[in-house]
Every structure is written in structure tokens, then in C-alpha cells.
């Protein structure tokens, strides 16, 4: 289940990058990157 959560986090980050709107792309990328980092850290700590 842990690998599935990490995979979902990576896919959601890819969707955020693909759907960045013109004015908010930096904010959306920042939020997505922070979420991805926390997901990877959480996965590594449990593993």
C-alpha cells in the first residue's frame, strides 16, 4: 500500500504540472512540489 500511495502522489504531481494555468503556474508547481517531497519523505521513513 505504501508504494501505491507514492505512485498516486507522483501521478498527482504530474497532473498539477500538466494543468498549470497561466497566472498561477508558479504557485501550483510549488504546492505540488511540496506535496511530492512530503510524500517521498513519508515513504522513505516508513520503509
Residue 47 has a pLDDT of 61
Q: What is the pLDDT of residues 1-47, one digit of tens each?
A: 567 777 888 888 877 777 766 566 777 778 778 888 888 888 787 66
Region label for 20, one of left (φ > 0), alpha (ψ between -120 and 50) or beta (otherwise):
beta
- Which three cell numbers, joined as nine digits, stand for 44? 522513505
**pLDDT value at position 32?**
79
User: Distance between CA atoms of 32 and 38, rounded to whole angstroms?
Assistant: 10
**pLDDT for residue 23:** 61
pTM of the model: 0.61
Cell triple for 32: 505540488
Amino acid at each position: 500500500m505504501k508504494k501505491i500511495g507514492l505512485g498516486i502522489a507522483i501521478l498527482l504531481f504530474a497532473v498539477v504540472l500538466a494543468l498549470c494555468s497561466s497566472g498561477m503556474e508558479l504557485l501550483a508547481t510549488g504546492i505540488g512540489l511540496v506535496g511530492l517531497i512530503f510524500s517521498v519523505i513519508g515513504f522513505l521513513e516508513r520503509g
